[in-house]
Amino acid sequence: MRNVKLRLRFRRTLPLMLMFAPVVAFFIIFRYVPMLGNVIAFKQYNLLEGVWGSPWVGLDNFRMMFQNPQTLQIIRNTFVLSLLSILLGFPFPILLAVMLNEMRKMWLKKTVQTLLYLPHFFSWVIVGGLVITLFGTQAGMINNWIASMGGEPISFLYKVETWLPIFFGSAIWKEAGFSAIIYLAAVSSIDPHLYESASIDGAGKFKQIRHVTLPGIFPVISIMFILAMGRVMEVGFDQVYNLQNAVVSSVSSVISTYIFTVGIQGGLYSITTAMGLFEAMIGLVLVVLANRIAKTFNQSLW
């Protein structure tokens, strides 16, 4: 009898299993199998001998990495830029979702949503071109306006103190609107009766947001924060590569650009693999730490 029930259950779930099979295959082929390549971090890799034929050097690549002042600077830049990106950019999608939820005219709400989502679909090449068009020293729109007012052009993209706000601002402008979709879905799932009860008790809009909306989406905020902490050591290559220049390389050189220039272009695969493995381990530690913090609020992932 038990075998009959198992066969019936298997037949009922077979379509779902077949639908899920491509997802499993994708993660196995493109996520788990490439992890075997991390062994290059412990070898003196060369293309002729291959991964398994290259000589084993143990932790020498990691020692070389941490003894190089340039590498330490790159790690510091990556950590600082990514951490500041989270601190500055994390609240914006939440704010946008709350503001969109408070709009009552549907045509205006849909128009604003479309305008906010649109930058996400631009490549960083396009965004980089827009940044140069706005902040370029010679042909930038802002500098042209400054010159027309009798002022001196400002090298926005060639000063650290102005490049950093442009770097963070462009990332927020590009991704905040699209990221707000998750929070907007969470806001829409809140029971409307809670707002009605708060209104009857005399709560205004701001108090409703504080005591109903934000607590209602707090579980989603916790999950997104944990995932964001896992990306602390991941500064997007496309953004940095399209916005950086030699003048601001002291703050713009990060792990992703280092792997590209030293690993792919320079052929030093072993040390850049060690750098990538170090980046992944730091991300793992931060995810576990963030999950432990969320666990104190009963919002952990596991």
CA max distance for the chain:
90
Which residue stretches of the chain are H helix? 2-27, 50-53, 60-67, 69-89, 91-102, 106-117, 124-135, 141-148, 160-188, 192-200, 205-208, 214-229, 237-243, 249-252, 255-258, 269-295
Query: What gap in Å lies between CA 189 and CA 165, rounded to an integer?
Result: 35
What per-residue confidence (pLDDT) applies to 109?
85
Query: What gap in Å lies between CA 279 and CA 219, rounded to an integer?
Result: 27
Asked if the model's pLDDT at residue 3 lies above 80, the reply is: no
Residues 110-127, mean pLDDT to the nearest whole number: 90
Rg (CA), the chain: 25
Q: Considering only CA atoms, which of 174, 171, 154, 167 is closest in space to residue 245? A: 167
Asked if the model's pLDDT at residue 29 lies above 70, the reply is: yes
Inter-residue contact 89 to 177 (CB < 8 Å) = no
Mean of pLDDT over the chain: 87
Tokens 């002291």 -> residue: 250
pTM of the model as a whole: 0.83
Query: What gap in Å lies between CA 232 and CA 296, rounded to an integer?
Result: 21
Mind listing the pLDDT tens digit for each residue in 187-245? Answer: 888 888 888 888 888 888 888 888 888 888 998 888 888 888 877 777 778 889 889 88
Which residue stretches of 28-90 are H helix? 50-53, 60-67, 69-89
Mind listing the pLDDT tens digit for each residue in 54-78? Answer: 899 988 999 988 888 888 899 899 9
Q: Considering only CA atoms, which of 162, 166, 159 is closest in space to residue 239? A: 166
What per-residue confidence (pLDDT) applies to 22?
92
Enumerate residues 6+ apart whose C-beta is below 8 A from 115. 177
Q: Burial, 80: exposed, middle or buried (Cβ in 10 Å; 0-12, 13-18, 19+)? A: middle
What per-residue confidence (pLDDT) applies to 131?
92
Sign of CA dihedral 81, 83, 84, 85: positive
Domain range annotation of the chain: 1-32, 65-295
Q: Could you give the count of Cα atoms lying within 13 Å of 43 in the half-sphere of its Cβ? A: 17
Helical packing angle, 91-102 and 214-229, nearest 10°: 150
Residue 116 amino acid letter? L
The fold of 65-295 is: MetI-like fold (1.10.3720)
Mind listing the pLDDT tens digit for each residue in 129-164? Answer: 999 999 988 878 998 898 888 888 888 989 999 999
